[in-house]
Amino acid sequence: EAAVTQSPRNKVAVTGGKVTLSCNQTNNHNNMYWYRQDTGHGLRLIHYSYGAGSTEKGDIPDGYKASRPSQENFSLILELATPSQTSVYFCASGTGNSDYTFGSGTRLLVI
């Protein structure tokens, strides 16, 4: 079954440290997305990609980088983590007018 898998499921990081969140999809979708979910804000788009080698800024890209080394993999990188980046992060894949398929999320706590 086609799926989106995120790792790790939970992560505790120290302020100023580097954090990498990983996402793998088996849907063969061209487009992949990173969202964060916070109470009162819903889902906000951080970065997205149209295919291997491409990354685009979403609505809240500051403090985040993204990498799409292959069709299947899309990473979100926090070079210098801050407590304000404590959140739940979701990766999704999609193509054309298809539904997005979301992963189960990564819960990140920055202390």
Residue 102 interacts with other proteins (CB under 8 A): yes or no? yes
With contact defined as beta carbons under 8 Å apart, do 111 and 17 qualify?
A: no
How remote is the C-alpha of 34 from its chain's centroid? Answer: 3
In the chain the first and final C-alpha atoms are separated, in Å, by 37
Q: Which window, 17-25, 27-35, 62-70, 75-83, contacts other proteins (CB under 8 A)?
A: 27-35
Q: Which of 34, 35, 64, 74 binds other proteins (CB under 8 A)?
A: 35
Cβ 95 to other proteins shortest distance, Å:
8
How remote is the C-alpha of 1 from its chain's centroid? Answer: 21
Residue 90 interacts with other proteins (CB under 8 A): yes or no? yes
Cβ 31 to other proteins shortest distance, Å:
5
Residue 57 interacts with other proteins (CB under 8 A): yes or no? no
User: In whole angstroms, what is the distance from residue 4 CA to residue 101 CA?
Assistant: 7
